[in-house]
Amino acid sequence: MSHAAATAFGLQVNVKKTVVMHQAPSHDKSLVSNTNITLNGTKLNVVTTFTYLGSILSDDALVYSELTARIRKASCSFGRLYDRVWSQRGLHLSTKIQVYRAVVLSALLYGCETWTLHMRHVRLLESFHIRHLRAILRIRWQDRITNEEVLQRAQMTSLEAMLIKAQLRWSGHVLRMDDSRLPKCVLYGELSSGKRHPGGQYLRYKDSLKRPLNKCNIGLTDWEEQASYRSVCRGIIHDGINHFEANRAAQAQVRRSTRKLKSPSDIISQRSSSSNLTCSVCGRICAARIGLFSHLKTHKSS
């Protein structure tokens, strides 16, 4: 249809730049290999990933390719500014942080409003954020500075808070659209036919929105009504992000305190209390059953 419309206006479609990507069901990938679309007698190439408006779309509808590309571009942006910005002692720290926000984070979080992320993806992005903040602040791992202190020195929030803020603001924008708009139809749309494949299901964008709403202490039932007013929606998101950051910092402090309370003597006494983890040959105390099993194999081999 696009070729016919282009021909009607005297335009010509470039066959070399035109490709085809088919999102087949997960249980039947043979449809991709059988895809045969021609243009002026030339068969178009079938690809698994396609770049559209700077975002990478994949045939499996996952974000692995997009995250890899975003991290690569953000790393390149950070590396190009290392000599002129990050290593310059004459620049104030606030200036470096503003450049980091404008250049690196904008490249990293481009299009993050529509990402469907698992916690492993969030941890991957969070490690990128903390690692580069440590480089800007000149903090080495030998300094034994926690991630919370790094964020406090940089006066920045966690990357998860940035993701939550961007996705909630975009979802509120979609909710304020007319019912005839395509983004709102896709958000509220449901399949009229088809079956769910056995086993675990893919995480949907709707499901990924419930998690940040719960973390920000925003009611699921009241969110649609609150998001209908832009100023009210922005205020609720701002308060929710502050609530999330406070809880996250408190939980991190509790985990760190609990970990530090366990001294090496306590760990040894805890291990010795479980007699089933003691080697019957040499008397060595193992931390887990798999460790004891591997240790006993060394005696058998010797």
Q: Is there a domain that residue 42 lies in? A: yes
How far are the Cα atoms of 38, 39, 44, 152 from residue 19, in angstroms, in the given order? 10, 10, 6, 47
172 and 140 inside one domain: no
75 and 152 inside one domain: yes
pLDDT digit string, tens, across residues 8-46: 788 777 777 788 887 766 555 555 556 677 777 778 888
Q: Is there a domain that residue 53 lies in? A: no
Residue 270 has a pLDDT of: 55
More confident residue, 36 or 244: 244
> Number of structural domains, the chain?
4
Q: What is the mean pLDDT of the segment spanning 267-296? A: 74
More confident residue, 195 or 126: 126
Q: Do 150 and 199 touch, CB atoms closer than 8 A?
A: no
The CB-side HSE value for 242 (13 A sphere, CA atoms) comes to 5
pLDDT digit string, tens, across residues 76-105: 999 999 989 999 888 999 999 999 999 999
Residue 281 has a pLDDT of: 85
Nearest to 160 by CA among 133, 131, 187, 120: 120
State both tokens at 103. 């250049």
Structural domain range at position 223? 164-186+205-261
Q: Is there a domain that residue 191 lies in? A: no
240 and 212 inside one domain: yes
Q: Is there a domain that residue 88 lies in? A: yes
Residue 263 has a pLDDT of: 57
257 and 273 inside one domain: no
Residue 290 has a pLDDT of: 83
pLDDT digit string, tens, across residues 129-171: 999 999 999 998 888 889 999 999 999 999 999 999 999 999 9
Q: Which of 51-55, 121-125, 202-206, 275-279 has the lowest mean pLDDT?
A: 275-279
Residue 109 has a pLDDT of: 92
Q: What is the mean pLDDT of the segment spanning 53-58? A: 82
111 and 127 inside one domain: yes
151 and 100 inside one domain: yes
Q: Does the pLDDT value for residue 271 go beyond 80? A: no
240-257 core/surface letters (b: 16 or more CB in 10 A; e: else): bbeebbeebeeeeeeeee
Q: Is there a domain that residue 195 lies in? A: no
More confident residue, 125 or 196: 125
Q: Is there a domain that residue 200 lies in? A: no
220 and 240 inside one domain: yes
Q: Is there a domain that residue 41 lies in? A: yes
232 and 274 inside one domain: no
Q: Is there a domain that residue 194 lies in? A: no
Cβ-defined contacts of 95-99 (< 8 Å, 24+): 96/136, 97/136, 97/154, 97/155, 97/156
Question: Mean pLDDT in the chain?
Answer: 84
15 and 65 inside one domain: no
Strand pairing class (42-43; 49-52): unpaired
168 and 152 inside one domain: no
250 and 169 inside one domain: yes
State both tokens at 192. 């009229």
67 and 144 inside one domain: yes
Q: What is the mean pLDDT of the segment spanning 249-257? A: 87
Domain boundary among 10, 27, 47: 47
Q: In whole angstroms, what is the distance from residue 88 CA to residue 104 CA?
A: 17
Nearest to 217 by CA among 247, 187, 188, 179: 247
